[in-house]
Amino acid sequence: MGPDLSSPRLRTAFAGLAAVAATALLSACSQHAASDANIIAGKQLFVAKCGSCHTLARAQTKGTVGPNLDEAFQQALKNGLGRTGVRGAVHGWILHPNPFSPMPAKIVTGEKAYDVAAYVARSVAAPGKETGLLATAVKAAGSGKPAVAKNGTLEVDADPGGQLAFITSKAQSPAGAVTIKMANKSSTPHDIVIDGKGKSQVVQNGGVGQFKASFTAGTYTYYCSVDGHRAAGMQGKLTVK
């Protein structure tokens, strides 16, 4: 969501650009006052569409492809940009991202774009944790029940909402030949890997990746090898007995 900020100098320049963009878009955004429902919808959309690329502490997203949004806006907020200005800047970047960034134009549109911008503006560089309905708007990543192998197949799916996580961080299997399978309904590409055992295809949009290996008793780590995903927490523990 915007340029890649890799240095303090670029972050300072970014803050100035944010102020300019916000001023240009302020009047348009002021016509779209965000309700609680808009903010909740904005969080859900942000996690699904933007969280795989951006870190935003309150959304518990840890993407590293794009800038860390908390860091990106921190100085601009201190300089007096204001939350409305942040909202205007973010909305502008959604519709017209940096052409040299990997972010596609109009990843969300219409009211959805306003909702995402409103959520980011409310949450970016904000202290504390979310409460109430906003805190539970998105299921915690990797919080599903442990996956258990059945009939020689262990299925550990990617989070369908686009988070950088599997649906569970724990899995169990008996020793022997096991097919490791991962379905990925989200548009974020993922694979599943166990070092020394195998690696699935990278899949997205309903694709299924898998590999077969023989396991002895012990513990193994499964993870996604797509750049930045494991570092963001997309991994889990397989216990073989």
- Tens digit of each residue's pLDDT (9 = 90 or more) over 9-36: 444 444 444 444 444 444 344 445 678 9
- Tens digit of each residue's pLDDT (9 = 90 or more) over 145-177: 999 999 999 999 999 988 899 999 999 999 999
Q: What is the DSSP letter of 158?
A: B
- Tens digit of each residue's pLDDT (9 = 90 or more) over 88-110: 999 999 999 988 888 888 899 99
Domains and CATH numbers, the chain: 8-135 (1.10.760.10), 147-240 (2.60.40.420)
**What pLDDT is stored for residue 27 in this prediction?**
37
CA distance 29 to 39: 14
Which of 128, 150, 123 lies closest to 40 in space, CA to CA?
Answer: 123
Q: Which residues, in sequence order, are CB contacts of 101 under 8 Å at separation 6+?
A: 2, 3, 4, 66
Record the pTM. Answer: 0.71
Cα dihedral 25, 82, 20, 49, rounded to 10, equals -60
| Arithmetic mean of pLDDT, 212-235 | 95
CA distance 156 to 147: 6
